[in-house]
């Protein structure tokens, strides 16, 4: 129909957002699947939340291929603002 769509949910992390409130952490995860779905035009924009909350340099690290520098996410990370 021509209406832009956005996708969101655990981009760059292994666990779900709700699990963070139960004390479960999330490790850095591949974004290859998201990139493929974006390329296949399943959606127009992707939202990144927790990965950016915990690591403000996340986008630069992804762009530069510094995947080994990506940080995990823990519940306590919700208490820190950058």
Residue 24 is predicted with a pLDDT of: 82
pLDDT of residue 1: 67
d(CA 7, CA 48): 9
pLDDT, block means (10 residues), the chain with 82 residues: 87 83 84 92 92 92 95 86 78
State residue 9's pLDDT score. Answer: 84
pLDDT of residue 61: 97
């Amino acid at each position: 129909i021509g209406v832009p769509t956005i996708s969101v949910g655990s981009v760059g992390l292994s666990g779900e957002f709700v699990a963070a409130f139960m004390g479960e952490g999330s490790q850095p995860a591949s974004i290859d699947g998201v990139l493929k779905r974006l390329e296949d035009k399943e959606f127009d924009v992707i939202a990144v939340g927790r990965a950016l909350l915990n690591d403000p340099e996340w986008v630069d690290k992804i762009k530069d291929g510094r995947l080994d520098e990506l940080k995990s996410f823990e519940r306590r990370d919700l208490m820190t603002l950058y």
